[in-house]
Amino acid sequence: MLRPIAFCLFASTLLLSGCINRTPPAPTLTPSQLNVALSETETRLTRSMAQQCEKWEARQALQGEQLQQIEKQQRQIDNKLASVEDKLDRHVTVMPTPAALTATAKAAECPPPAQTDAAAGVNNIGNKIVVGRVEWLWIEAVNRIYEARIDTGATTSSISALDITPFEKDGKRWVRFRLTPDDSDDSFEIEAPLVRYVRIRQASSEELDRRPVAALTVRLGKMTEVAEFTLTDRTQMNYPILLGREFLRDVAVVDVAKRNVQPKPDIVAGQNQPKAVSKTKKK
C-alpha cells in the first residue's frame, strides 16, 4: 500500500521539477559600469554630430564657391551686354554742325600746301599732329578756349557738365546741360545733339554708370572736329575736359613729356559768347 503512494509522490516531484525555469537571472549593473556605458553612448553621439557638422560645412563651402562662380559669370555677362550696347549706340549717325561743315568746305576750297616731315616741324609727324599731355581746346558752343588733358586710357572724351536734361528737338534727341569747362565758378548753359548713352564702370565701384554722350564742335591747334563727349560732373577733377582715344585715333601722336605742343586756337571774332552762370547757383 505504501509503495504505490511513494511512487506517485516521486513521479509528481519529477514533473514539478521539470516545469521550473532554470535560466539564470540577468546580472544588475554596478554604478561604475553604468557610467562607462553612458560615456560610450555620449562619445558615439558626439562623433556622429561632428561628422554631420563637417558634412554641413563642406556643403556650405561648395555652395559658396558655386555662388561666387555664378556672380563672376553674371559680371562677365553684364560687361558683354554693356559692350554690345556700346557697339549698337555707335551706329547712331551724328550730323555735323554748320560750323563744322563750313570749316570742311573752307579746307576743301583752300587745301594747304604739301609739307615734308622736316618742314612740318615739331607740331606734326607726317599727316598726324603731335600733342602733349595737356593741350588748348576751343569749344564752339561757348566760343572760349580751355586746357584739356590727353588721356589715351579713356575710350571716349569727357567734359564736365551739370543739370543734364535730355529732350527732343525737331524729332531728334538733344541734351541741355551746364558746361563747366574749368575750375572757376563759371558755367554755360548750352544745347547739343544727344548721340547715345554709354555705360562706364568706375575703378572705385562695381556699379555701371550710364552717361549721355553729346556732340560738340572743338578745335585743337588747326584741326576742327565734331567730337563726342560723355557728360558727367568733373568739377572735382584737375582737368574737367578730357580727350580720349576716339578723338585722337588716326590723327594724333601723343608725347607725354610735353604740353601745349599745338598752337593755341583763336576765339572766333563776331561769334556770340553765352553769358556765364554760377556753378553753385543756376540762373
pLDDT in tens, 220-239: 999 999 999 999 999 888 89
Cα distance between residue 79 and residue 130, in whole Å: 34
Residues 207 and 240 both lie in one domain: yes
Share of the chain above pLDDT 90, in %: 37
Instruction: Give pLDDT, residue 282.
Output: 55
Instruction: Give pLDDT, residue 117.
Output: 38
Q: Report pLDDT digits (tens) over 16-29.
A: 555 555 565 666 77
Q: Is pLDDT at 115 greater than 50 in this prediction?
A: no
Global pTM reads: 0.56
Q: Report pLDDT digits (tens) over 246-276.
A: 999 889 999 999 999 999 999 999 888 888 8
Instruction: Give pLDDT, residue 67.
Output: 82
- Name the region of 246 (left: φ>0; alpha: ψ -120 to 50; beta: rest): alpha
Region 167-172: mean pLDDT is 93
Cα distance between residue 106 and residue 268, in whole Å: 15
C-beta separation of 196 from 90 below 8 A: yes
More confident site: 28 or 44 = 44
The answer to whether residue 63 is domain-embedded is: yes
- Amino acid present at 11: A
Instruction: Give pLDDT, residue 280.
Output: 75
Instruction: Give pLDDT, residue 228.
Output: 95
More confident site: 145 or 106 = 145
The answer to whether residue 48 is domain-embedded is: yes
C-beta separation of 94 from 101 below 8 A: no
Chain center to CA of 23: 84
Q: Report pLDDT digits (tens) over 184-202.
A: 888 999 999 999 999 887 6
The answer to whether residue 37 is domain-embedded is: no
Q: Report pLDDT digits (tens) over 94-110.
A: 444 455 445 444 544 54
Which contacts (CB < 8 Å, 24+ apart) does range 160-168 have? 160/232, 160/233, 160/234, 160/235, 160/237, 160/240, 160/241, 161/231, 161/232, 161/233, 162/187, 162/233, 162/235, 162/279, 163/189, 163/282, 164/212, 164/231, 166/194, 166/212
What CATH number does the domain containing 148 carry? 2.40.70.10
As a whole number, the mean pLDDT across the chain is: 80
Angle at 94 between CA 216 and CA 194, to 5 degrees: 60
Residues 233 and 128 both lie in one domain: yes
Instruction: Give pLDDT, residue 87.
Output: 64
Share of the chain above pLDDT 70, in %: 73
C-beta separation of 272 from 199 below 8 A: no
Which of 38-52, 85-99, 106-120: highest mean pLDDT? 38-52
Residues 159 and 231 both lie in one domain: yes
Instruction: Give pLDDT, residue 244.
Output: 93
Cα distance between residue 180 and residue 160, in whole Å: 5
Give the least confident one: 30-39, 87-96, 178-187, 199-208. 87-96
Residues 132 and 73 both lie in one domain: no
Report residue 211 as a C-alpha cell. 552717361
Residues 84 and 105 both lie in one domain: no
Residues 170 and 211 both lie in one domain: yes
Q: Is pLDDT at 216 greater than 90 in this prediction?
A: yes
- The structural domain count of the chain equals 2
Domain that holds residue 171: 98-110+120-278
Residues 85 and 104 both lie in one domain: no
Cα distance between residue 218 and residue 144, in whole Å: 10
The answer to whether residue 28 is domain-embedded is: no
